[in-house]
Structure 1
């Protein structure tokens, strides 16, 4: 699957239908990458889940055992999460990004 990267250019994101997910508490996304579709998904979750307590983005899942380029891609994903997502996380929601060279990093 091909994803448009948001690493260099953060553009307008599509709006999703206004559904509320009242019972979702914790979200873990493994294999998070710097793609428009994944950033849109995370923003959608943040905006439509009032009961959210924790969000973790794992950038390491897809590069384990892969080439060094994948480690660099995971690092870009960490930077995109900090730049495009962290500021949208509501107060009271625990936000972590698991990067390629460390354990979970609390971004907020």
Structure 2
């Protein structure tokens, strides 16, 4: 009997907190995207610096500085996509919040 009451109270609490929980999930996703973007940007900068200074593993005819710079550019493009995805997640969270306020759900 206690378990049934406890489960009922948990479900009631979750149903009330659902809107706040959804908002928190959106913000967490945006933060995760931001961390991934920062990691990719750092990696791209590292590749670019290695290509400029001729450091790191370089195989003759395969990984000349031009090829390595192209790889760094591809990494930077992917990082920029991650930044855009993060911004989209943040905008989605704000839009969801405004929509709920407009509907009077909040």
Q: Which TM-score applies when normalising by structure 2? A: 0.28
Q: Which of the two has greater strand per residue?
A: 1
Structure with more of its chain in helix, by fraction: 2
The structure that has the greater radius of gyration is 2
Give the TM-score of the pair, scaled to structure 1. Answer: 0.28
Q: RCO greater where, 1 or 2, for CA within 8 Å and sep 6 or more?
A: 2
